[in-house]
Every structure is written in C-alpha cells, then in structure tokens.
Chain A
Amino acid sequence: MSVTSLLNRFKSASANPTPSESLALSQLAPSILNLTITDSPEQWALYESLLLSTLRTGDDTSARLILQRLSDRFGNDNARIMALQGIYDEATATNNAQLEEVLKNYGDVLKDDPTNIPVAKRRITLLHHLSKKSEAISALATLVDLNPTDAESWSQLAQYYFELSMYSQAIFSLEEVLLILPNAYNIHARLGEINYVAAEAIGNSAGKEVVEKLEASLKWYLRSVELCDGYLRGYYGIKTVTAKLLESKISASHRTIPEEKVNKLNSAATVQLHDIVTGSEKGKKGFAGYDLAEVAAAKELLETTP
C-alpha cells in the first residue's frame, strides 16, 4: 500500500477511535515502518498517527522506534516532537509518581518557553487527567489569553467548564469559537445542547429562565441546520427542544416564539429525522455518512415521542 492510501486509512478513523479500529491501525505498524523513508510530509504525518495508535494499543516498542525516527528527523527541541515525546511518556508511565515527573517536565519546558503551545496543551490534558480540574482550567484560560485565535483550545475550555456544570462559561467559550469559525455548524449544535442541559439543570421547570434557555437552545439548533442541510444532530435537538417547549404549558406567558411556530418546527424536524432514519436503515447510497449510533438514537426518539 502507498503512503497516501495508508494515511487515508488513518484519516478516516477519528481522534477517538473504537478499540477494534485502534487495533487494526496499530497492526499496520510493521508495514509502515518497513517502507523506505522518503522524507515526504505525508509520511511524517503517517508516522505521527501511527505513533498515537501504537500507544493506544500498548505497542510500546514500535512507538519508541517511530518516536526515535521522528526526533532524528526534526530534532528533540521541535515543539511538536516534544509533545509527542510527552504523550509517549504519559502512556508508558506505570504509576502516579512517574506521571507527576512528566508533569514536572512539562512545567520546566514551559518555564523556558511559555509559547510552546503543543506542550502547554499536553500539560493541561495531564492536569485534567490527574483530576486537577481547576488547575487545568486556569492553565487553559492562560493559554487562550496567550493565543486567543486557537479554536481548539476554546472548545476544550468549554468542555472542561461543561464537565463542572459551569454552563454560562461553557457557552461563552463556544461563542469565542464561533467568532473564529462562524460556520462551525457542529459548535452551533453543541451550544444548543449546552443551553438545553442548562435549562434542565434549573430545578423549577416552568420559570422564565428555563424558557429563555430552551428558546436559546432552539435558535442555536436552527442555525446549525441552516448551515448544514440534513444535520442529524441538529434535527434531533430541534425535536427534543420543541417537544420540551410544548410540554411545559405553564410557561406560555414567558415564551417569545409563538406556539404555532414551535409546532411547525417540531413536525418539520420529525419529517427530516424520519427521512434520515429510513434512508440509513435501507442502506441508501446518500446516507452512508451518518453515524449508526446517532441514527439509532434518532429512531428511538421518533418512537417514544409522537
């Protein structure tokens, strides 16, 4: 197999592959390592992806070799190589003391060069992994201060806030992502989800605040399907939120969106979801991209709500 086709196999898997996917990718290690090194950017990208796969599956000898070749080529002081070295150290550490050691190393590197973004991200991830959540958040907040145009960091920050149920901070962070990438429809849907969860979290189920949050959620979802035709996640959200809005009868006085419109949106979303579910189940050609778990969830939603 050529480097390009191998790289495409890695690209088609996500950053969070299923264990069986990881295993299949990691088993490609011998054939990739036996290819002659042509020094093409694709080959190094392939090495990087393979390194992560082998670390996931515990093939540390291959990982060591890949890392060795990468650092021979790019040098040990390359920011990206330092981060990869860090990932290797994190993965192969056997106890917490060793992890603390890795953390300390990251700290030393960052003391010398605070602009080493890849290592800064490693440090934050490790802090979070070691359950030092508030430290991770404050480090990440410093990082986005330093580098405010990095959408990935803002998105990660939103995730950390969300885990701590700090919804308004999470929403703020995602809105920052949208300032950088205004067309990121999945972030619109995520905002819809967070607003919905935030509404759920407010105990009193008929208050003004709840309705406001639900309507905000609905608006984010609507924009996500406006930006992306046939977006399963968006329609799923619209159906859930509109059902919720219709259900809480008491809140009618707080609503700004007329009930008739909410009803219409609900039935439109139902139609779209129905199309996607039947198309995907029949294995039609234009539906191969949908995630099967998401389709199953949509099917369940359609069955439980009329």
Chain B
Amino acid sequence: MARSLPSKLLIAFSSLLLAHACYSAHEHSLLSTTATTPPTTPSSSSSPSTPGTPTTGSSLPLDITLETLISVSLLLVGIISSGWELKPISLRNYAGGVESGRVLVDGQVKRGGLFGGLEERPGFLDVRKQRKEFTEWMKVQG
C-alpha cells in the first residue's frame, strides 16, 4: 500500500482537526457543567434531575458539530484514497491485467503470465544449453 502525498497530508490535517474538535467538545462540556453548577446544589448536579433540560450532547454548539463531521469525513476520504489495492476476481480480467502489466503480482510485472511455469518448466532446465548460449554471447560481446 503506497500512500500518496496528498492523502498523507489530508490524513494529518483531518486528524488535527478531529483532535481539536474533541478538545473543544471536552472544554464545552466542562464549561457548561461549571456554568450550570452554581444554581443547583452539587449533589443534584450529577443526576439529570430537571426534566426537559437538554442533555449536554444535544447542546453541543453548531461549530463543534460541523468540525467533527467534516474532520471525520475528510479523515475517511484520506484513509480510503490512500492506495489500497484490490485485484480483479474474474480470471479473465486478472489474467488479462497480468499479461498487459496493468495488474502487478508481488509488486511487479509478471513475465510469462499466471501459468508461465508450465512453459518455462524449471524442473527440466537444460543448464548446458543455457551455459553454451551464454559463452557464445560473451564471445560476441568481446
């Protein structure tokens, strides 16, 4: 999986944004608890005693909500667009891709295709013939 630079930057930026949103939400909830504490007694503040009052969640300011949603969306885009590779499942597409070099096997173009071993036949390697070819080639090269 090779991450491209734009998606790396996107991931870094949106992670920061998300962390900021998280921090803001935390601060907001701290502020709202301290702000609502004085009128009520400390013992009753922990339990939602007053019916009808909005919970801390729904009272989250619009800017923090938007920041959270946007940062998570961007983070998802960044992660998903960062070079995940799938391979065609039908043999026709896959084999064709390997032949033409569109699909890589182990990260490189596979010479001879998917069933190349059947025609190369390493078990029946004629080493003397190849050695002779090599010495002749060396002679030509000088």
Contact = CB atoms under 8 A, between A and B. Distances in A.
B101 to A, nearest CB: 3
Contact of A12 (B97, B109, B125): B109
Interface of A: 8, 11-16, 19-20, 22-23, 52, 55-58, 83, 87, 90-91, 93, 117-118, 121, 124-125, 128-129, 151-153, 155-156, 159, 177, 181, 183-187, 190, 226-232, 276, 285-291
A228 B92 contact: yes
A91 B127 contact: yes
Contacts of A19: 133-134, 137-138
B122 A229 contact: no
Nearest to A120: B123
A58 B127 contact: no
Contact of B127 (A52, A118, A285): A52
Contacts of B120: 14-16
Interface of B: 91-93, 95-102, 106-131, 133-135, 137-138
A22 B134 contact: yes
A276 B101 CA distance: 12
B119 A155 contact: yes
A20 to B, nearest CB: 8
Contact of B100 (A52, A129, A227, A289): A289
B100 A58 contact: no
B63 to A, nearest CB: 44
Given A128-B126, A155-B118, A186-B118, A14 B99 contact: no
A287 B97 CA distance: 9
Given A11-B106, A183-B91, A52 B115 contact: no
9 contacts: A8-B106, A87-B127, A153-B123, A185-B113, A229-B95, A229-B97, A230-B96, A231-B99, A286-B101
Q: Chain B interface mostly helix, strand, loop or mixed?
A: helix
B108 A289 contact: no
Closest 9 CB pairs of A and B: A289-B101, A229-B96, A15-B120, A19-B137, A288-B101, A228-B95, A184-B115, A121-B123, A286-B102
A181 B115 contact: yes
Nearest to B118: A155
B101 A90 contact: no
A118 B123 contact: yes
Given A229-B93, A231-B95, A288 B135 contact: no
A290 B98 CA distance: 9
B95 A55 contact: no
Contacts of B112: 14, 186
Contacts of A183: 91, 115
A110 to B, nearest CB: 15
B27 to A, nearest CB: 48
Contacts of B100: 230, 276, 286-290
Contacts of B106: 8, 11
A51 B8 CA distance: 42
A16 B113 CA distance: 14
A190 B101 CA distance: 21
Contact of A152 (B98, B109, B124, B135): B124
B111 A186 contact: no
B128 A129 contact: yes
A186 B107 contact: no
A124 B131 contact: no
Contacts of A20: 137
Contacts of B109: 12, 288-289
A289 B125 CA distance: 24
A290 B109 CA distance: 10
A155 to B, nearest CB: 5
Given A156-B124, A289-B98, 10 more contacts: A12-B111, A14-B112, A19-B133, A22-B130, A58-B131, A183-B91, A228-B95, A229-B95, A289-B99, A289-B111
Q: Most chain-B CB neighbours within 10 Å: which of A156, A186, A288, A290?
A: A186
Contacts of B127: 52, 55-56, 87, 90-91
